[in-house]
């Protein structure tokens, strides 16, 4: 996958075939239907990719060279890009690193004399070590950011112990005399700012705010087309570190997605006997503190004292997943209303006995026939709350 450098960019992959997304059996494998064939493709991006891995999304795949040149996951194909709106999103982090070394680092570190990729120091390997003409040594870690919605880029899209470790080690090495940098390469969209993803990785978001004075933060926006040509679009998208306190506060809201594989009639506390149809349910909840612990309690289906309506339902769930939305305000009722707007059928009175939603047949639990996490409208609603409404501070 060697780039063919041109004046402002390079070709970093080849569009051998296109197809539509079918499934993602694990983080490193996606199934793509191209014509009459279902292709098993290596996925070079291990992130969650919620907004891309939806039925019918168009993927670009490249045929892998034969062994021994290439041996990823024993597949013949690699998913190298995905169409998202008007953009093509490259899935290889290699793209971000190559564009960074060729077009971005010279502006971040003027007068580079030597540049070493994949440099090991301490317990980590960093993307680049650079030395400028004054003899100053720079360490650079590049992070590809693919989650861009509603004008806000967020990194990472899944918990990343590796990113946190790199950040913490860069902060230590900065104290030893190195010039340390973290460069976020945003790979699509029209972001107005980058916000550390406090929803999916609050530890990284909080640490980035703490260490910003020791580790220099940089951003760049790149563009990719369907042929694999990538170019630098814009340097320096602003980094917004104002929500580090919220990341540490561990409070906000959540959506709990669960599946009932068969119809059940259950006793739900004061609600009495309730018939639950087979299908999918989404519950909107909140926690003024200990949000992570609250979600973990819901996911622990047994060995817990019945306290909330949802406690009667979770022991019977098949798939069960919690989606955090860390926020300054209680958005529980707004989330419930949004579930209704998506066409969910309310379970009257469920989970809202202490709020206005309980009047007139309202609910904080909604029924869906199909899996919400495979529905574009549901994913868009989740990301709208995470990228916009959750970041609005309470009015004084």
pLDDT digits (tens, 9 = 90+) for 202-248: 999 999 999 999 999 999 999 999 999 999 888 789 999 999 999 99
pLDDT band at 66 (very low <50, low <70, confident <90, very high): low
Asked which of 1-10, 172-181, 337-346 is least confident by mean pLDDT, the reply is 1-10
The reply to whether 324 falls in a domain is yes
Asked which of 84-93, 116-125, 322-331, 349-358 is least confident by mean pLDDT, the reply is 349-358
Instruction: Report the CATH number that the domain containing residue 67 is assigned in CATH.
Output: 2.40.50.580
Q: State the DSSP H helix or E strand holding residue 291, giving kind and residue range, or none if neither.
A: helix 291-299
The reply to whether 150 falls in a domain is yes
Q: Is 0.85 topped by the overall pTM? A: yes
Of 215, 232, 247, which closes a domain? 247
Residue 211 contacts by C-beta under 8 Å, 6 or more apart in sequence?
A: 167, 168, 170, 171
Q: How far is CA 10 from the centre of its chain?
A: 26
**Selection from 320, 317, 339, 319 nearest residue 384 by Cα:** 339
pLDDT band at 29 (very low <50, low <70, confident <90, very high): very high
The reply to whether 53 falls in a domain is yes
Give residue 8's pLDDT.
67
Q: Are residues 163 and 203 in the same domain?
A: yes
Does pLDDT of 263 surpass 70? yes
Of 247, 269, 297, which closes a domain? 247
Q: Are residues 194 and 268 in the same domain?
A: no
Question: In this predicted model, which residue has the larger pLDDT, 202 or 3?
Answer: 202
Alpha helices in 139-201 (DSSP H): 161-174
Give residue 7's pLDDT.
43
Give residue 4's pLDDT.
40
Q: Are residues 195 and 287 in the same domain?
A: no
Q: Are residues 28 and 42 in the same domain?
A: yes
Q: Are residues 259 and 381 in the same domain?
A: yes
How many of the other CB atoms lie within 10 Å of CB of 42?
22
- Which 3 state secondary structure label does DSSP give 26? strand
Instruction: Report the CATH number that the domain containing residue 224 is assigned in CATH.
Output: 3.40.1350.60
Domain ranges, residue 120: 93-247
What mean pLDDT do residues 362-375 have?
A: 96
pLDDT band at 396 (very low <50, low <70, confident <90, very high): very low
d(C-alpha 112, C-alpha 133), whole Å: 6
Q: Are residues 161 and 266 in the same domain?
A: no
| DSSP state, residue 269 | G
Which range has the top average pLDDT, 43-47, 75-79, 256-260? 256-260
Q: Are residues 76 and 97 in the same domain?
A: no
Q: Are residues 255 and 322 in the same domain?
A: yes
What mean pLDDT do residues 314-330 have?
A: 95
**Contact assessment for residue 209 and residue 244, using Cβ atoms and an 8 Å cutoff:** yes
Indicate the average pLDDT of the chain: 91
The reply to whether 396 falls in a domain is no
Q: Are residues 223 and 206 in the same domain?
A: yes
Q: Are residues 243 and 97 in the same domain?
A: yes
Give residue 65's pLDDT.
75
Q: Are residues 261 and 314 in the same domain?
A: yes
The reply to whether 354 falls in a domain is yes
Instruction: Tell me how many domains the chain contains.
Output: 3
**Selection from 150, 89, 143 nearest residue 386 by Cα:** 150
Within 77-189, strands assigned E span: 77-84, 87-90, 112-121, 124-132, 137-145, 147-149, 152-155, 179-186
The reply to whether 215 falls in a domain is yes
The reply to whether 45 falls in a domain is yes
Give residue 1's pLDDT.
40
Task: Tell me phi and psi for residue 155, to 5 degrees.
Answer: -135, 140
Residue 230 contacts by C-beta under 8 Å, 6 or more apart in sequence?
A: 9, 10, 11, 12, 90, 95, 99, 222, 223, 224
What mean pLDDT do residues 138-153 have?
A: 96
Does pLDDT of 265 surpass 80? yes
Of 52, 68, 85, which closes a domain? 85
135: tokens are 């003899």
The reply to whether 219 falls in a domain is yes
Question: In this predicted model, which residue has the larger pLDDT, 354 or 382?
Answer: 382
**Contact assessment for residue 153 and residue 193, using Cβ atoms and an 8 Å cutoff:** yes
Does pLDDT of 3 surpass 50? no
Asked which of 304-318, 321-335, 379-393 is least confident by mean pLDDT, the reply is 304-318
Q: Are residues 97 and 230 in the same domain?
A: yes
């Amino acid at each position: 996958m060697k780039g063919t450098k041109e004046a402002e960019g390079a070709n970093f992959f080849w569009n051998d075939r296109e197809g539509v997304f079918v499934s993602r059996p694990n983080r490193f494998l996606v199934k793509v239907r191209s014509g009459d064939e279902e292709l098993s493709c290596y996925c070079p991006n291990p992130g969650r990719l919620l907004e891309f891995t939806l039925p019918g999304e168009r993927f670009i795949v490249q045929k892998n060279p034969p062994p021994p040149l290439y041996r990823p996951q024993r597949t013949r194909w690699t998913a190298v890009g995905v169409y998202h709106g008007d953009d093509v999103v490259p899935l290889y982090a290699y793209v971000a690193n190559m564009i960074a070394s060729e077009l971005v680092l010279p502006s971040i570190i003027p007068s580079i004399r030597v540049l070493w990729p994949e440099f090991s120091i301490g317990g980590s390997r960093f993307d680049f070590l650079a030395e400028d003409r004054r003899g100053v040594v720079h360490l650079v870690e590049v992070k590809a950011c693919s989650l861009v919605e509603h004008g806000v880029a967020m990194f990472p899209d899944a918990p990343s112990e590796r990113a946190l470790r790199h950040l913490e080690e860069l902060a230590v090495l900065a104290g030893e005399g190195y010039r340390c940098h973290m460069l976020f390469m945003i790979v699509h969209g029209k972001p107005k700012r980058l916000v550390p993803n406090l929803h999916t990785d609050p530890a990284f978001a909080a640490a980035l705010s703490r260490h910003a004075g020791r580790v220099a933060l940089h951003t760049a926006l790149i563009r990719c087309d369907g042929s694999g040509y990538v170019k630098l679009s814009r340097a320096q998208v602003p980094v917004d570190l104002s929500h580090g306190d919220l990341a540490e506060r561990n409070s906000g809201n959540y959506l709990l997605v669960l599946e009932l594989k068969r119809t059940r009639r259950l006793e739900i506390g004061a609600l009495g006997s309730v018939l639950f149809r087979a299908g999918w349910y989404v519950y909107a909840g909140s926690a003024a503190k200990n949000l992570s612990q609250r979600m973990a309690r819901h996911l622990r289906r047994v060995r817990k004292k019945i306290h909330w309506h949802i406690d009667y339902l979770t022991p019977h769930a098949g798939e069960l997943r919690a989606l955090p939305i860390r926020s300054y305000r209680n958005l529980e009722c707004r989330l419930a209303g949004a579930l209704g707007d998506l066409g969910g059928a309310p379970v009257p009175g469920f989970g809202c006995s202490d709020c206005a939603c309980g009047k007139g047949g309202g609910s904080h639990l909604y029924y869906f026939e199909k899996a919400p996490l495979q529905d574009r409208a549901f994913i868009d609603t989740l990301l709208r709350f995470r990228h916009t409404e959750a970041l609005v501070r309470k009015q004084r």
